[in-house]
């Protein structure tokens, strides 16, 4: 498979165009080492596109590194310092960089939220998390009610980098329906409360999340930004396997 075909297939599956006006990330091919006609035989996948993961991808002899968090956010004014080191690592090692941010959060089957719902043995009930007219999360329902302690124990099995799950336990004693926005998702506490769910599952929070959750009577689970966003890139890794590409997942938990 050529790089152009690889990029087109992922773009089509992830519907990047729908998020183009609301996502600060420049999704798609951010660094095209060797041109789009180059063959793709080996691909590496990681949550974060940084110099370290580029060099790990190179050690795997990858032709492309696929990540959730790329190099370019809201445009790139100059290539100096950290940006230079990251781009230089791609060029020096002939590794292309492909990025999918918000589209990979909200995708109904490949997305972080959808796969996290499956990890919690919940059935997806529809999209959640309005962000400028698109959605970046999922609403889900458990087959039977569980306590906050049971859900927290399950989330603790994620690769958190020794970070404990933080729970704001202000919701009902039994949790059955919940919303998911992975990464930094406490801005959607009010939407979750308006939706009538029992809890919100996310990665990390902000100071005001405590008061908003308490006043809304909502339980909020914060299982780690990194830990909740490994699912999407792992799903893309499995997809590339199906395409006959040799793959690897580069796990570098941040503890955040």
Q: What residues are designated binding site for a divalent metal cation? A: 68-69, 105, 225, 229
The backbone torsions φ and ψ at residue 246, rounded to the nearest 5 degrees and listed phi first, read -75, 130
Return the SS3 of 173: coil
- Residues belonging to the binding site are 68-69, 105, 225, 229
**153 touches 221 (CB < 8 A):** no
Q: CA triplet 143, 137, 207: central angle to 5 degrees?
A: 105
> 47-50 long-range CB contacts below 8 Å, 24 or more apart?
47/226, 47/229, 47/230, 47/233, 47/252, 48/226, 48/252, 48/254, 49/86, 49/97, 49/99, 50/86
* Contact of 210 with 169, CB cutoff 8 Å: no
């Amino acid at each position: 498979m050529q790089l152009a075909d690889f990029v087109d297939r992922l773009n089509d599956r992830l519907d990047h165009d729908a998020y183009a006006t609301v996502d600060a990330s420049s999704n798609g091919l951010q660094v095209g080492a060797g041109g789009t006609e180059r063959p793709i035989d080996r691909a590496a996948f990681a949550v974060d596109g940084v110099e370290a993961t580029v060099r790990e991808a190179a050690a795997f002899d990858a032709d492309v590194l696929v990540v959730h968090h790329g190099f370019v956010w809201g445009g790139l004014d100059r290539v100096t310092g950290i940006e230079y080191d990251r781009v230089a690592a791609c060029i020096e090692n002939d590794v292309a960089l492909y990025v999918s941010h918000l589209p990979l959060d909200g995708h109904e089957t490949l997305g972080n939220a959808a796969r996290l719902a499956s990890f919690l043995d919940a059935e997806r009930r529809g999209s959640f998390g309005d962000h400028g007219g698109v959605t970046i999360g999922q609403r889900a329902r458990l087959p039977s009610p569980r306590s906050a302690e049971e859900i927290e124990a399950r989330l603790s099995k994620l690769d958190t980098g020794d970070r404990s799950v933080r729970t704001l336990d202000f919701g009902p004693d039994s949790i059955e329906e919940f919303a998911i926005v992975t990464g930094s998702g406490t801005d959607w506490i009010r939407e979750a409360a308006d939706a009538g769910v029992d809890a919100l599952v996310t990665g990390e929070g902000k100071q005001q999340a405590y008061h908003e959750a308490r006043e809304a009577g909502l339980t909020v689970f914060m299982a780690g930004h990194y830990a909740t966003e490994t699912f999407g890139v792992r799903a893309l890794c499995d997809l590339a396997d199906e395409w006959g590409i040799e793959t690897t997942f580069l796990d570098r938990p941040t503890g955040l």
